[in-house]
Amino acid sequence: MPLTPLPIASPDEVGLSGAGLATLDAALQAHIDAGTIAGAVMIVARQGRVCHQAALGRRDVASDAPARIDDLFRIFSMTKPITAAAMMSLWDEGRWTLDDPIALHLPEFAGVEVCAGKDGEGRMVLEAPQRPPTLRDLFTHTAGLSYGTRLSDPNDPVDAVYQAAGVWDARDLADMVTRLAPLPLAYHPGTSWRYSLGMDVEGAIIERLTGQTLAAVMKQRLFDPLGMTETRFFTPPADRARLATLYLKSPGQPLTELDNPMFADASREPPLAWGGAGLVSTASDYVRFAAMLLGRGSLDGKRVLSDAAVDLMLKNHLSQALIERGFVMGHQRIGPGRGFALNGSVFTDPALAGVAVGRGTYQWDGAAGTWFWIDPAYDLLCVGMTQTMSYTAPALQAEMQALLGRLLVDAPA
């Protein structure tokens, strides 16, 4: 089990400052000392080589187990870019296009309707969509789907019907589609943006197109060729000790151990693989995935995606009108200079966005504090992982980007 996912270089060899990179560790350590996170693992790579890695704080507070670079983490929504890559491998084979209606691949969605509000008696008013939701809508959270988890607002009419239908209680992705497809969309496709189960529907499309489980497709097409040996939808009992404890941080309260609030952690391959939130991984494994994207579909001489597929995945697909409206999901933003690619956000104009990254930087994060970005302009990637859920969580990705941005100002491209 290698602890270095790519070749090693000193910071100077890749045009960065070792002292400057140490400021990233100091910033994370400050959050650990303040009790907002228990520990963190972070890896920075540039020009295809790891130039900085750190394991800080504790994997588990009660046992005082120190964080290690090979710790396992629930990456939650950082599953989404991996699902996009699995989809793009099928795009390379001509199995789908972005403008395909969802119903072309999942006929259950053929009769979908849109919530147009409520009548005087509080009953939902439904109407036909102005156009069918497409795969592009799925990838960009513009299909009109919602999330409807147990944590969602029960007063939201669409989230309420998701909860009533037991979407999150589905046995597998086919059952999820059966429960989800008859439910109303929150808005007409393409007219707004709402964080959603779109990537889980993508997982169902992958299974329908291939006749394999989503987990099997990811393993065959991505994890095995990329050497991502520890990324899966479960944690084997033999590796359980390396799984970082999940914590809740409430204002004014100490870190409190928390069971996974979205679905039960699995010790073997689960029947339902959530394409939007289900994977467990290590920072080292995720660096290999990120490096493949920076390598335009190839890593260590093994190609898993075409140049064209990676280009399509990493470019903005939102209209300027939607970008100008601005949307927020946790620490992620859509707005001037920041659009949305396939299953992740992209900086179209970093100066306008006020963020010190290169144009074309693609990123996403996870509910428990994991984050990553790839910066093609500076040939740089960063992966960070912690395991704290909080409504007031520190914006670690943005903080690391600001610190790294200072080092890149004078760095050679």
Q: pLDDT (tens digit, 9 = 90+) per residue, 71-101?
A: 999 999 999 999 999 999 999 999 999 999 9
Q: What does pLDDT average to over the chain?
A: 96
For residue 121, pLDDT beyond 90: no
Q: Is 232 helix (H, G, I), strand (E, B) or coil?
A: strand
- pLDDT 10s digits, 139-162: 999 999 999 987 788 789 999 999
Q: Identify the three-state secondary structure at position 243.
A: strand
Q: Model confidence over 10-22: pLDDT tens digits?
A: 999 999 999 999 9
Using 50, 70 and 90 to split pLDDT, how confident is the model at 39? very high
Annotated domain spans of the chain: 11-86+214-410, 96-193
Q: Which residue has the tokens 């989404």?
A: 80
Distance CA 74, CA 279 (A): 6
Q: pTM surpassing 0.95?
A: yes
Q: Residue written as tokens 């670079």? A: 69
The hierarchical CATH code for the domain 11-86+214-410 is: 3.40.710.10
Q: Report the candidate in 217, 216, 232, 233 with the shortest Cα–Cα distance to residue 270.
A: 233
